[in-house]
């Protein structure tokens, strides 16, 4: 018997899930094995045998990978010659680019995302960052880097008057500074400003110190090791930034009050975060599905991504004015306000 048309339609949805999984694993294998890098280095393209010789892999297996990469749109093919599709080298390999997406493939294959969630599904046992593997931490760091490269300076330049104000000097506070990538970018782009990095994790602060010292910026950056719900600074800030950390705070109202207390009159608070969909239509899009995947880890640390409009209400509750928003990508949005 021939399946009814509506069954075929539903089967196509499920097959699409399998196709997406295949594409993800193909890219992940290509990144870890060096095949993507080898294709990027082959200016005129390469055959499977060429790639195998360049990378030291089995030619037959490399041919299987090449066909899958072509099927998934990662490669183009001309006869037996493969080359990366346009912009794929930037998207998958250039960690300095605001468009970099290669890190997310490593994150989504780590134990901490889906495997541990499934293991703890019955118990609901939570974890924290210090329970995570080095591979997870490294993957998160790489996948989070584009949030900083989009935010500084491009995202901040969308806020009226801010660039000129920072050019005149002031204090910038990076809350949830992590390993210090944002502090370096902020210091480099706003050389007249003093920087303060705040994080509740002492290990992250130590990593940030090393990052800042390596960049030769130690004389302009200070650190505060305190939870964001408790931090204080000794000099009013012109700008407080929170980059992909606000949704992980245990009490966002308390954090926001600490920010209000830290800002000088007219100072700005900028929240840079995932804009989790707040309706069914948006959740069913590709960006919504990606963010739904991130929720599997966020749930394990007792968090969930928040809709962007949640931050509007948060800033309004704490008396911020001149509220504004900007969408930098489908999975990256800014919300800001002035005290």
Cis check for the bond before 279: say yes or no (omega within 30 of 0). no
Residue with tokens 């390596």: 214
Quote the CA–CA distance of 320 and 202 in Å, as a whole number: 31
Q: What is the CA radius of gyration of the chain?
A: 22
Q: What is the DSSP string of 5-52?
A: HHHHHHHHHHHHHHHHHHHHHHHHHHHHHTHHHHHHH-TT-B-HHHHH
Give strand ranges (E) for 255-306. 263-273
Phi, psi of 178 (to 5 degrees): 60, -130
- The pLDDT, as a whole number, for residue 140 is 84
229 burial type by CB count under 10 A (0-12 exposed, 13-18 middle, 19+ buried): middle
Give strand ranges (E) for the chain. 75-78, 81-84, 170-175, 193-199, 221-225, 237-243, 263-273, 321-329, 332-338
Among 243, 242, 238, 241, which residue's Cα sits nearest to residue 263?
238
Give yes or no for a contact between 270 and 323, defined as CB atoms under 8 angstroms apart.
Answer: no
- The pLDDT, as a whole number, for residue 284 is 96
Phi, psi of 201 (to 5 degrees): -100, 115
- Strands 170-175 and 193-199, sheet pairing: parallel
Structural element, H or E, at residue 176: none
- The pLDDT, as a whole number, for residue 240 is 98
Give yes or no for a contact between 68 and 22, defined as CB atoms under 8 angstroms apart.
Answer: yes
Quote the CA–CA distance of 48 and 30 in Å, as a whole number: 13
Structure tokens at 235: 């000099």
Structure tokens at 21: 């999984």
Q: What is the residue-level pLDDT of the chain in tens, covering all 339 positions?
A: 666 778 888 999 999 999 999 999 999 999 999 999 999 999 899 999 999 999 999 999 999 999 999 999 999 999 999 999 999 999 999 999 999 999 999 999 999 999 999 999 999 999 988 788 888 877 887 888 899 999 999 999 999 999 999 999 999 999 999 889 999 999 999 999 999 999 998 888 998 999 999 999 999 999 999 999 999 999 999 999 999 999 999 899 999 999 999 999 999 999 999 999 999 999 999 999 999 999 999 999 999 999 999 999 999 999 999 999 999 999 999 999 999
- The pLDDT, as a whole number, for residue 1 is 60
Give yes or no for a contact between 236 and 242, defined as CB atoms under 8 angstroms apart.
Answer: no
Give yes or no for a contact between 94 and 73, defined as CB atoms under 8 angstroms apart.
Answer: no
pTM above 0.85, yes or no: yes
């Amino acid at each position: 018997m021939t399946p009814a048309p509506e069954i075929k339609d539903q089967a196509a949805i499920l097959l699409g899930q399998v196709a997406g999984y295949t594409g993800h694993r193909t890219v992940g294998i290509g990144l870890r094995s060096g095949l993507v890098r080898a294709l990027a280095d082959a200016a005129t393209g390469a055959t499977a045998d060429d790639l195998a010789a360049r990378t030291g892999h089995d030619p037959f297996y490399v041919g299987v990978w090449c066909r899958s990469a072509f099927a998934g749109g990662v490669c183009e093919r001309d006869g037996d010659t493969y080359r990366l599709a346009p912009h794929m080298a930037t998207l998958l390999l250039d960690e300095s680019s605001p468009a970099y997406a290669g890190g997310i493939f490593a994150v989504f294959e780590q134990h901490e995302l889906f495997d541990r969630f499934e293991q703890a599904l019955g118990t609901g046992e939570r974890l924290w960052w210090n329970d995570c593997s080095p591979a997870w931490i490294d993957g998160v760091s790489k996948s989070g880097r584009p949030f900083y490269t989009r935010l500084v300076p491009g995202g901040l330049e969308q806020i009226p008057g801010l660039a000129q104000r920072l050019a005149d000097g002031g204090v910038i506070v990076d809350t949830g500074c992590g390993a210090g990538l944002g502090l370096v970018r902020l210091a480099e782009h706003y050389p007249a400003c003093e920087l303060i990095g705040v994080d509740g994790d002492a290990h992250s602060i130590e990593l940030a110190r090393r990052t800042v010292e390596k960049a030769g910026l130690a004389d302009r950056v200070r650190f505060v090791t305190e939870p964001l719900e408790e931090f204080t600074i000794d000099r009013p800030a012109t700008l407080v930034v929170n980059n992909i950390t606000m949704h992980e705070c245990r009490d966002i109202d308390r954090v926001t009050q600490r920010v209000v207390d830290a800002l000088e009159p007219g100072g700005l608070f900028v929240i840079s975060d995932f804009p989790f969909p707040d309706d069914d239509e948006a959740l069913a899009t590709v960006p919504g599905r990606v963010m739904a995947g991130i929720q599997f880890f966020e749930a394990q640390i007792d968090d969930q991504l928040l809709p962007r409009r949640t931050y509007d209400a948060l800033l309004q509750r704490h008396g911020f004015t001149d509220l504004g928003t900007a969408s930098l990508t489908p999975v990256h949005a800014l919300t800001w306000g002035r005290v």
